[in-house]
Amino acid sequence: MNVRSAIETYRYWNRQTSICAEQASSIDVAPTMAELRRMRCDADYLIGGLMHQGIAVVDGYWPAEKCAAARAEIDRLLAAYPQAVHHSSGGSDKRMFGVESVSKLLAEFHDDPFLSGVGEMNSGLKLYNFATLGARIDATPENSGSGDGWHRDAHGSQFKSILYLSDVAEENGPFEYLPGSHKSWRVVLDTALGDLPAAPNTRYEPAAIDRLSGRFHVKRCQYAAKAGSLLLVNTAGIHRGMPLMAGSRYALTNYLYHPFQIDLDRVRKFPTLIPGTADRIIADLRLA
C-alpha cells in the first residue's frame, strides 16, 4: 500500500478543488436545473448518475443518419486541415480540436445547451466550451486506445461530453471507466491500494489498474454502445479508450473549462486548433 502517495494526492486534490471554488463563478442552481428538466425529462436521473458514479449514458442522443453525416464530416476535415490533425496512440488516433469552427453540423454538438448545463450542475460552477474534438481512431497493431492508456484528465473535477458517431462494440475501443473514482475518498483508496503515483501525476500503468480491479475488486466498466450514444463524464475519474481490435471509432468530445483556467498561454500552448477557433476563444473571453 502506498499511503504516502495517497496522502499527497488527497491534499493536492483538495487544493485544486479549493482553487476552483475560489476563482470560478457559481451558477444559479434552481433555474439551471429547471431549464435542464425542460429540455429532458430524465435530467435528474442523468445528473444523479454523473455525480454518484462519475458517468451517465444517454442512448440515441443523435439519430443514426446524423451520425453518418458527422462521420463523413470528420473524414472531410481530416483531408481539408492536415496541419490541424494530431496523431497519437501509435498514429492510429487522428484528432482535430475546434471542428465547430468549420462545420455547422459538428457545431450543433458544441453549442448544445443541455451538455454545458449538465456540466455546470455537476460542479455548481460556470463552464466555457473551449473546443470540440472530432476524432477517428483506427484498429492498428500500434494503437493503445483513445487517450493512450489509463489516466485522469485532472485532479478535482473535469467534465466532458462524448458522442459516439459510430457503433462501438468491445472490439472497437469503447470508453472504459472506474465508476466512483472521481470522488476524493476513492482517490485515497485507489492510490493506496493500486500503488498509484502521487498527484499531480495523472497517468497510470495498466498493471496498477489490473491490480485494483483484480486483487481489490474495484469495478471497471466498458461502455459499448450504438452510434448516437452520449456519455456525460467526470473525467477526473480514472478512464481510457480501450485498444481497438477491429474497425474504427468516430467520436465528438466537448472540452469544457472554467473561464479562469483559460488564458492566452493556454490557447497558444494547446495543440494546434482548427482556424478560427483561437480567435473565437480570445474574443469570447476577452483575452487580447
The mean per-residue pLDDT over the stretch 95-117 comes to: 98
Q: In what order do the strands lie in the sheet with 175-177?
A: 221-223, 175-177, 239-241
Pairing of strands 221-223, 128-138: unpaired
**Backbone dihedral angles phi then psi of residue 201, each to the nearest 5 degrees:** -55, 140
Q: What is the pLDDT of residue 271?
A: 84
Q: Rounded distance, CA 265 to CA 269, Å?
A: 6
221: pLDDT confidence band, cut at 50, 70 and 90? very high
Grid coordinates belonging to 57: 449514458
What SS3 class is residue 33? helix
Residue 114, pLDDT > 80, answer yes
Q: What is the pLDDT of residue 162?
A: 98
Residue 288, pLDDT > 80, answer no
Provide the β-strand partners of residue 55: 233
Q: Cα dihedral angle (67, 71, 72, 73), rounded to 10 degrees?
A: 90
Residue 195, pLDDT > 80, answer yes
How many CA atoms lie less than 13 Å away from 25 in the CB half-sphere? 7
Residue 147, pLDDT > 90, answer no
118: pLDDT confidence band, cut at 50, 70 and 90? very high
To the nearest whole number, what is the mean pLDDT of the chain?
96
Grid coordinates belonging to 191: 492510490
DSSP 8-state secondary structure symbol assigned to residue 198: P
Residue 130 contacts residue 271 (beta carbons within 8 Å): no
Q: Rounded distance, CA 9 to CA 200, Å?
A: 7
Percent pLDDT > 90 in the chain is 92
Residue 131, pLDDT > 80, answer yes
Residue 276 contacts residue 257 (beta carbons within 8 Å): no
Q: Rounded distance, CA 182 to CA 231, Å?
A: 15
DSSP 8-state secondary structure symbol assigned to residue 70: H
Q: What is the pLDDT of residue 70?
A: 98
Digit-coded pLDDT (tens) for 249-260: 999 999 999 999
The mean per-residue pLDDT over the stretch 50-69 comes to: 98
Q: Is the peptide bond before 200 cis (omega within 30 degrees of 0)?
A: yes
Q: What is the pLDDT of residue 88?
A: 87
Digit-coded pLDDT (tens) for 165-175: 999 999 999 99
Least confident of 139-148, 159-168, 212-221, 228-237: 139-148
Q: What is the pLDDT of residue 1?
A: 75
94: pLDDT confidence band, cut at 50, 70 and 90? very high
